[in-house]
């Protein structure tokens, strides 16, 4: 594996690991101690801060995807090279599982700790608000669509240079504020997979929704992005292909 690809893979691993550990950790660990819970608002900001901090730490190396849906959405928009798609997604899933495993190890160190879903995602009986399959599918699709729309727009030519991590992190915060009551918020198949493997078979059985809905939403955003940003996307794609280092 070329050194450049190794650096990209490492960046995606650390970024995704931090997202799952920080975001899910905020939900799991704060809830374990009476009086210290940070609530929906705190968890929403925790997820937004993980993306914001890693976007600036390693985004310039790999593009800062940390999410299979983001990788597929950017690929659809012409902003991710074919050769990066599978390695990125595989790395993101592995990192999410490793982070969830570490979080389980840490959380289970408390004698009376109870997993309580372990920050996994769900619909129906596993939805925090008991929302239906249709409602949860629609939420994940739409929220991922707008997440990718913000990512594509803020990283296109003509957007303010050097500030993309801020609106992207805030967009993820807003998404969590809206959709935690519905699905516990995924918009990220890797983030869903890691905790589900430790939360139990019921959550694993519902993982299909948290892969399909975010990916479809991301693809739709990528296609819309190609149209609405038009020349900005085409120019950027030509430039990065010329240097053989698409983001």
Whether 239 has a pLDDT exceeding 80, the answer reads no
Quick one: which of 50, 39, 218 has its CA closest to 143?
Answer: 218
- For position 54, what pLDDT does the model report? 97
Whether 108 has a pLDDT exceeding 70, the answer reads yes
- Tell me the C-alpha distance between 124 and 211, whole Å: 17
Does 173 fall in a domain? Answer: yes
Whether 242 has a pLDDT exceeding 80, the answer reads no
- For position 192, what pLDDT does the model report? 98
List the domain range (segments joined by +) for residue 55: 3-242
- Tell me the C-alpha distance between 203 and 50, whole Å: 24
Pair 73, 218: CB distance under 8 Å: yes
pLDDT digits (tens, 9 = 90+) for 154-166: 998 888 878 999 9
pLDDT digits (tens, 9 = 90+) for 3-17: 999 999 999 999 999
- For position 231, what pLDDT does the model report? 64
- For position 162, what pLDDT does the model report? 85
Does 133 fall in a domain? Answer: yes
How sure is the predictor about 243, in pLDDT bands with cuts at 50, 70 and 90? very low
Does 247 fall in a domain? Answer: no
Does 230 fall in a domain? Answer: yes
Pair 136, 214: CB distance under 8 Å: no
- For position 34, what pLDDT does the model report? 73
Does 194 fall in a domain? Answer: yes
- Tell me the C-alpha distance between 78 and 25, whole Å: 34
**Stated pTM of the model:** 0.92
What value does the mean pLDDT take over residues 158-183?
A: 94
Does 35 fall in a domain? Answer: yes
Question: Token digits for 171?
Answer: 């967009």
DSSP 8-state secondary structure symbol assigned to residue 125: G
Domain count, the chain: 1
What value does the mean pLDDT take over residues 109-132?
A: 95
CATH code of the domain in which 85 resides: 1.20.1080.10
pLDDT digits (tens, 9 = 90+) for 25-78: 999 998 777 777 789 999 999 999 999 999 999 999 999 999 999 999 999 999
Whether 246 has a pLDDT exceeding 60, the answer reads no
């Amino acid at each position: 594996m070329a050194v450049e690809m190794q650096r990209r893979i490492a960046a995606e691993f650390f970024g995704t690991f931090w997202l799952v550990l920080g975001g899910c950790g905020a939900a799991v660990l704060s809830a374990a101690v009476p009086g210290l819970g940070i609530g929906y608002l705190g968890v929403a900001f925790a997820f937004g801060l993980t993306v914001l901090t890693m976007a600036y730490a390693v985004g310039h190396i790999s593009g800062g995807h940390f999410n299979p849906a983001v990788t597929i959405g950017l690929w659809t928009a012409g902003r991710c090279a074919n050769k990066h798609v599978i390695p990125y997604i595989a790395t993101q899933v592995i990192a999410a599982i490793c982070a969830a495993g570490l979080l389980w190890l840490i959380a289970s160190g408390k004698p009376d700790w109870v997993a309580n879903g372990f920050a996994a995602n769900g619909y129906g009986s596993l939805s925090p608000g008991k929302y239906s399959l249709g409602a949860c599918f629609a939420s994940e699709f739409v929220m991922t669509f707008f997440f990718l729309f913000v990512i594509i727009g803020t990283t296109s030519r003509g957007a303010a240079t050097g500030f993309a991590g801020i609106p992207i992190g805030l967009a993820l915060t807003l998404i969590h504020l809206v959709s935690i009551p519905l699905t516990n918020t995924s918009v990220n198949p890797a983030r869903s997979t890691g905790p589900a493997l430790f939360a139990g078979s019921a959550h694993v059985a519902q993982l299909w929704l948290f892969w399909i809905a975010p990916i479809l939403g991301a693809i739709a955003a990528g296609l819309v992005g190609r149209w609405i940003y038009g020349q900005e996307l085409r120019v950027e794609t030509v430039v990065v292909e010329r240097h053989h280092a698409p983001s």
